[in-house]
Chains A and B, each alone.
Chain A
C-alpha cells in the first residue's frame, strides 16, 4: 500500500526547484574554488600536481572522490535494493584494490614519478616507444571510464532534473572543463574534496534516517526486509556462481585500481611517499565506510520505497537512493541528493579529463614529440589544449553512446587497467632485466587482449550484441589478459638484454627505496 502512495507522490523526472537550487549552490562554490585556484595555477607542477602541496588528509578525501562515482553510489544502492545481499557482495569487491595499491606500488610510484604513471614505466627505458605504449594503455582506460560516466550522467540528469540528454552532456562537459582548464589539479582536487564530503555526508544522513525508522536497530531493518521480500534477500543469490568468473572479476577490481591513471596521478599531488601512504589509509577508510553503509540505504529503499516503484522509474534500480530520500525527507532532500549525485559526476569526469589530458600533453607531446625539451609556458599551454580536446571528446562520446548499454565499460576499464598498465608498472619497479621491448609488448598485449576478449565474452557478445553463445566463457577477461601481459613482458625482456636500462637500475633503486632524487 505504502508503495502505491509514494508512486503517486514521486516528483522524479520533473523539474525540482530544490534540486536546481542545490545544484547552482554546488556549481557556484566549485567555480569560486576554481577562480581561487586559477591564481595559483601557473607552472606545470601546479597544473598537473597542485604544486605537490596537498596534505595526506586532503588527498585521502580527493582519492575517495575520484573513486566513488555515481555508479557506485546510485548503482550499488540500487543493486542492494533489487538483489539484496548480492549487492553487498559486489560492494566489497570495490574496496580490496586499495590495500593492494598501498602494499605494491604507493611508495615507489610516488618516489619515481613526476606527473603520470608513464614517468615510472619510462624511468630507465627508451622514452618514445614506452611513452606511446603507456599513453595508449592510459588513454584507453580513461576513455572507457569516461564513456561509462558520461552516458550515466546524461541519463541520470535527465531523470532527476528533467533536462534533455544532450544538454545534460553539454552542461557536465562545460562545467568540468572550467574546473580543469583554469584551476588544473588544484581546483580538481578541491572539487573532489567538496564532492567526497557531500557524498559521504549525504549518504550518512540517508543511512541515519533509515535506521531511525527501525528503532536504530539493523536487525529490525533486516526483519522488515525479510517480511516484505522474503529471507532470500538476505542470502547470497546468483551473483557468484562460477568460481573462475568470480576470481577473474576480483582480479580486475583489485589490480585494476593499480592501473587507473586518474587515481595514480593523485600520488604526485602530495609532498612525499609518507604522505602518499597516509592518504591511501584515509581513502581506504572513507571508501570502506561508504561501502559499509550503502547497503543499509539499499535495504532501506527496498522496504520503504518498494521494488515495484524502483524498477518502474528505472529498470536498473539507479533511482533507489533518490526515491528513498524523497520518502524520508521530501522534495527538498531529494533535491539535495540529486545535486550530490550531479556533483559526483562532475568531479569524476574532471579527474578523468585531467588524467587523459596529461597523457596527451606530458607523455605524448612533451616527451615524445618534443623529446622532453619544452618551456614551462609551452607545457602549460599544451596541457590546456589537451584538456579542451579531451573535454570535447568526452561530450561527443557521451552523445554518441546515448541509449547504449554501457554497464560493461567500467568493468572493461578495470580489465584494461589491470592488464595494460599494472603489469608494466610493477615490473619496471622491481625487475632489473625489464626492457623497452618487454614493456611495450606487455602493455599492448594487455590492452588489446582485454578489449578483444571482453567483446567475445558473454558481457558484450551475448548481452550487448545479442548473439546466442559467447566465444570466450569468462565475463571479465582479467585472469587471462593480465597473466598474458606479465608472461609476454617477461619473455620478451628475456629475449634481448638492454644494458642501458640495467645500468640505470641502481639509480632507480636508490630513488625507489630511499627517495634520493625524488621530485
Chain B
C-alpha cells in the first residue's frame, strides 16, 4: 500500500535519509572550516612558517595556498559522489514506496 506523507516522514528509512544527509553535510562543512580557517589562522599566528623556503625561492605558503583551493574542490567532489551514488538511490527508492 502507498505510504501517506505522514507515514513516510515518520518511517525509519526517511529519518535515516535526512540524518545521513545532514551528517555528511555538517562533517564536510566542518572540514571546510578546518581547511580554510586553519590556513587563515596559520597566517595570523605564524608567518615565518609559511615564509620558509621549500625550493630555492618558492615559499611553503604557495603550495599551501593552492592546496586550500584544491581541498575545497575535493570536498565538493566527495559530496557529489556521495549524493549521486548513495543519497539519490535511496531517494528514488523512497519515492517509489510512496507511489506503490
Q: Is A405 an interface residue (CB 8 A)?
A: no
Instruction: Please determine whether B62 and A514 come into contact, CB atoms closer than 8 angstroms.
Output: no
Cβ contact within 8 Å between B65 and A89: yes
B95 and A281 contact, CB distance less than 8 A: no
Contacts of B51 in A (CB 8 A): 231, 234-236
Give, as a whole number of angstroms, the nearest-CB distance from B64 to chain A. Answer: 9
Q: Which of A10-18, A32-40, A100-108, A387-395 contacts B (4 or more CB under 8 A)?
A: A100-108
For B41, give the chain A residue with the smallest CB separation.
A243
Interface centre among B24, B36, B39 (most CB of A within 10 A): B36
Residue pair A510, B8 in contact (C-beta under 8 Å)? yes
Beta-carbon contacts under 8 Å, A54-99 to B = 85, 88-89, 91-93, 95-96, 98-99
A280 CB contact (under 8 Å) in B8, B58, B76: B76
Complex interface bits, B26-50 against A, C-beta within 8 A gives 1, otherwise 0: 1011001001110111011001001
A95 to B69, CA, bound (A): 7
- By a CB distance below 8 angstroms, the chain B residues around A102 are 76, 79-80
Inter-subunit contact A291/B69 (CB<8 Å): yes
Report yes or no: B98 in contact with A516, Cβ–Cβ below 8 A.
yes
In the complex, the answer to whether A509 meets B65 with C-beta atoms within 8 Å is no
Q: Main SS of the interface on chain A? A: helix
8 Å CB contacts to A: which residues of B58-100? 58-59, 61-62, 65-66, 68-70, 72-73, 75-77, 79-80, 83-84, 88, 91, 94-95, 98
Q: Is the CB of A236 within 8 A of B61?
A: yes
B25 contacts partner chain A, Cβ-Cβ < 8 Å: yes
Q: B57 to A231, Cβ gap below 8 A?
A: yes
Q: Is the CB of A223 within 8 A of B76?
A: no
* In the complex, chain A residues 230-257 whose Cβ is within 8 Å of any chain B Cβ: 231, 234-236, 239-243, 246-247, 250, 254
Q: Taking each of A239, A241, A246, which has the highest tally of chain B beta carbons within 10 Å of its own beta carbon?
A: A246
Contact B59 A219 (CB under 8 A): no
Given contacts A99-B75, A100-B29, A92 and B39 within 8 Å (CB-CB):
yes
B76 to A99, Cβ gap below 8 A? yes
Chain A interface category by residue count: 35 or more
Binary per-residue interface labels of chain A (268-295) against chain B in the complex, 1 for a CB within 8 Å, 0 otherwise? 0000001001101100110010011001
**B56 partner, pick from A99, A223, A239, A295, beta carbons under 8 A:** A223
Tell me whether A218 is interfacial, beta carbon within 8 Å. Answer: yes
Check A247 against B83 for contact (C-beta < 8 Å): no
Chain A contacts for B24, CB-based, 8 A: 103
In the bound complex, do residue A288 and residue B73 qualify as a contact, i.e. CB atoms below 8 Å apart? yes
CA distance A93 to B69 in the complex (A): 9
Cβ of A222 < 8 Å from any Cβ of B? yes
The reply on A506 being an interface residue by CB < 8 A is yes
Q: Does A515 contact B (CB under 8 A)?
A: yes
* Cβ B61 vs Cβ A234 within 8 A: yes
Q: Cβ of A247: which chain B residues have Cβ within 8 Å of it?
A: 37, 40
* Complex interface: chain B residues within 8 A of A277 (CB): 79-80, 83-84
Residue of B at shortest CB range from A232?
Answer: B51
Chain A residue with Cβ nearest B54: A219
> What 4 pairs between A and B have smallest CB-CB spacing?
A235-B51, A103-B25, A240-B43, A222-B57
Residues of chain A whose beta carbon lies under 8 Å from any beta carbon of chain B:
85, 88-89, 91-93, 95-96, 98-100, 102-104, 107, 218-219, 222-223, 225-226, 231, 234-236, 239-243, 246-247, 250, 254, 274, 277-278, 280-281, 284-285, 288, 291-292, 295, 430, 506-507, 509-510, 513-516
Q: With A99-B75, A285-B73, A514-B8 given, name 19 new contacts (CB 8 A).
A: A85-B65, A95-B69, A99-B72, A103-B28, A107-B21, A226-B57, A235-B51, A235-B61, A236-B61, A239-B43, A242-B44, A243-B41, A254-B32, A277-B84, A284-B76, A509-B9, A513-B14, A513-B91, A514-B95
Name 15 A/B residue pairs within 8 A (Cβ), A-sorted. Answer: A85-B65, A92-B69, A102-B76, A102-B80, A103-B24, A103-B79, A226-B57, A231-B51, A234-B62, A235-B51, A278-B80, A281-B77, A285-B73, A288-B73, A514-B95
